[in-house]
Amino acid sequence: MSFAEFLPKADWREHIAAYWVRKTEPDTGPSGRRVYADGCVDLICNAGESVAYFYPMARGQQAIALHPGRLYLGGTMTAYGVLKSDVECLLTGIRFWPGGFYALFPQNMQQVVDSVIEFPEGELCTLMRRAENLDERLDRWFGDRSVFGPLSNTGKYDFVLLRKRMYDSGGLASVEALAEEMCVSNRTLERIFNENVGIPPKEFLRIVRFQEVLSRLRNAAGKNELPVAAKESLLQIAFELGYFDHAHLTNEFKKYAGILPSELSHFYKTGIAGGQYF
């Protein structure tokens, strides 16, 4: 299984995190990849010859089929999921930052939380059926669309700024403080998040905090700090990020990642996992 990501043109980087291509090679057999909750959404085209399946854990592992030649929208996840594919499966995708898809398309995100639905954009589907030079063709497509009018669907608020504030806080910002900064009520802020991301701001902040834990585990592994004194390191992370205790961090991490933080730190340290873990 091979996986590659490409940065979009600078014009789209506020909304689009990456274009990507995932291919299951003939000599590797069926493959699976765990997808962590991160607040992002994806447009996914099955550009291959076999069916892929996505299993969202928040929906009891019910399989969602991605059929060849079709384009799908994968919504915000409130728990991890697993993507499985057979040989000769080729998936191409566009990963949008939280709120990025809603900024470019008139699609309320609540209906696709923890789900994958078919997305009726025939021109884009045709474009994504070829992996070669995918980034260049997608940049042109978004650029051609912008000629006919603004793509932004954000209204009067600056969701990019709001998202940055939450990331910068490591998930520790309060909903009340964010609402005050945006000059809106808590209720209006929740409506904004339901439109842009599909989930309430408190749930999104928990996902941001989980992603901060991931970042710290990666950094610690890079400095050879884990798994040495792993328990103490995780206790320190739990304290600094506002978890009640080590068990609270562990339970929330397992929900969003599907494994224990100590297991992931070992994978980062040793390189074991063969691409199954982000």
From first to last of the 278 residues of the chain, give the pLDDT tens digit. Answer: 688 999 999 999 999 999 999 988 665 556 788 899 999 999 999 999 999 999 999 888 789 999 999 999 999 999 999 999 887 889 999 999 999 999 999 888 999 999 999 999 899 999 999 999 999 999 999 998 764 444 555 557 889 999 999 999 999 999 999 999 999 999 999 999 999 999 999 999 999 999 999 888 888 766 665 544 455 578 888 899 999 888 999 999 999 999 888 787 666 655 554 444 43
**The pLDDT of residue 276:** 44
Q: What are phi and psi of 255, to 5 degrees?
A: -65, -45
* Assessment of whether the complete model's pTM goes beyond 0.85: yes
Question: Residue 148 in 3-state DSSP?
Answer: coil
**CA–CA separation, 171 and 203 (whole Å):** 10
**The pLDDT of residue 266:** 65
Contact 109, 75 (CB under 8 A): yes
With b for 16 or more beta-carbon neighbours within 10 A and e for fewer, the 251-266 pattern comes to ebbebbbbbebbbbbb
**The pLDDT of residue 93:** 97
**The pLDDT of residue 274:** 43
Residue listed under structure tokens 């969202």: 56
What's the residue count for the chain? 278
**The pLDDT of residue 169:** 95
Torsion of CA 94, 96, 102, 107, to 10 degrees: 40
**The pLDDT of residue 107:** 85
Torsion of CA 39, 44, 49, 54, to 10 degrees: 30
Q: How many beta carbons lie within 10 A of that of residue 225, not counting itself? A: 16
**The pLDDT of residue 163:** 95
**CA–CA separation, 5 and 18 (whole Å):** 6
The string of DSSP letters for 24-63 reads --TTT-SEEEEE---S-EEEEEE-SSS-EEEEEGGGTT--
